[in-house]
Amino acid sequence: MQRSVKSLLNFNPGPTRCCSGYVSRMRHLMKIKEDDEACREALKCGSFLLYHKLAPLLHKTTSGLYKLASLKTSDLEKILEKVGKDKHFVNESVLLGCSDKGIPQFSLEMGQYYGEIDHSALEQQCGGVFVNLRKAFFMLSGSDAPLVAKGQAVLRWHQTNGFCSATGQPTIRNQSGSLRVCHSSGITYYPKMAPVVIVLVSDGSRCLLGRQSMFPAGMYSALAGFCDMGESVEEALHREVAEEVGLEVETLQYSGSQHWPFPQSSFMIACHATVNPDKTQVSVDKAELEDACWFTVEEVTEALQMKKPPRNRKGEPPVFWVPPSYAIANQLIQEWANQQQLKRQ
């Protein structure tokens, strides 16, 4: 919470980014990304995340929890054969990254290309279940959530960018899926994210959280909105708070950033903001939010301790809860709660 938005220019991602292992891995990844032949070789020894109509494949562990299913090339080829697909279908995979051990990671959509693959038969062969991504976020932990989000985002981008916006002609992807080219116009298309500011507003002792009508019952989150063309992060943040809740931001601090796959690949830029404690009357724009309320640190701390969404009983008010731990909104709320606890010591 000590970094300002301006510190983005001098942000140091940490010592692990400077180690020779990381540099070697990133250069290896760049080679796979840009060289079609290198990518084809990598496909022979990669790991694969499977999706069916953009729902990721998860495996249930012996403890009853779920984890992201990752398949080796040989295992995937066997599954493809059993569901009636040629093993060369593997070449439709798109590159995601490279594991700490240097293994190339790919995602593959099983429910869109070259005819329909039976959903149930595929789950049976894979020994898992395809789960809607929003639901999967509450079932995954650690590095699984961001990886599965990236996999879906890249696959969705390819599905929606099959034609050139200038000529209407088909675009052709490179082997890794890092770009698409219209050979008629010469335009190269790259995957894009829409910049979004997300801000936790505080009056010094409480934080302000809002909810949209589409949120699950009882869930409140930090305020967020898309950046307009030509806006800076600071300008977008001030505007969004004024529009949504009728408050004027006095100070702000940069916290972090995150790719978010909803609605269609957003780049979340997270900040903390303060308002005048004598001017905290909220005026909710009902076109933007269903509700917005001030919460105490006790209420927030209790919500943060919930490991999964609460079960709301019929006839009773919904239980207050916050986004899952993977969401950067949760990070903002946790940082604020920690700061409040330190102030009380």
Report pLDDT digits (tens) over 283-328: 999 999 999 999 999 999 999 999 788 887 887 889 999 998 889 9
What is the pLDDT confidence band of residue 20, given thresholds at 50, 70 and 90? low
Indicate the CATH number for domain 19-160.
3.90.79
Q: What is the average pLDDT value for the chain, to the nearest integer?
A: 90
Q: CATH 3.90.79.10 spans which residues of the chain?
A: 194-344
C-alpha Rg value of the chain to the nearest Å? 22
CATH code for 194-344? Answer: 3.90.79.10
Residue 56 confidence (pLDDT): 95
Average pLDDT over residues 169-192: 97
Give the pLDDT confidence of 246-255 residue by residue, as tens digits.
Answer: 999 999 999 9
- Model confidence, pTM: 0.85
- What pLDDT, on a 0 to 100 scale, did the predictor assign at position 309? 83
Q: Alpha-carbon distance 262 to 134, whole Å?
A: 9
- Encode pLDDT of 88-147 as tens digits: 899 999 999 999 888 999 999 998 654 566 778 888 888 899 999 988 887 887 788 899
Q: Residue 17: is its pLDDT beyond 50?
A: no
Find, among 291, 323, 314, 156, the residue nearest to 210 by Cα: 291
Cβ atoms of 31 and 39 within 8 Å: the answer is no
What confidence category does residue 231 fall into, taking pLDDT thresholds of 50, 70 and 90?
very high
For the chain, what is the HEC assignment?
CCCCHHHHHHCCCCHHHHCHHHHHHHHHHHHHHHCHHHHHHHHCCCEEEEEECCEEEEEECCCCCEEECCEEHHHHHHHHHHCCCCHHHHHHCEEEEECCCCCEEEEEECCCCCCCCCHHHHHHHHCCEECCHHHHCCCCCCCHHHHHHHHHHHHHHHHHCCECCCCCCECEECCCCCCEECCCCCCEECCCCEEEEEEEEECCCCEEEEECCCCCCCECECEEEECCCCCCHHHHHHHHHHHHHCCCEEEEEEEEEEEECCCCCEEEEEEEEEECCCCCCCCCCCCCCCEEEEECHHHHHHHHCCCCCCCCCCCCCCCCECCCCCCHHHHHHHHHHHHHHHHHC
Indicate the residue type of 315.
Answer: G
**pLDDT score of 6:** 42
Q: 258: closest CA among 334, 338, 191, 198? A: 198
Question: Can you give the pLDDT at residue 142?
Answer: 74
In the predicted structure, residue 273 carries a pLDDT above the cut 80: yes
pLDDT at 64: 74
CA–CA separation, 90 vs 64, rounded Å? 30
Q: Would you say residue 18 has pLDDT above 70?
A: no
Dist. CA 145–CA 330, nearest whole Å: 14
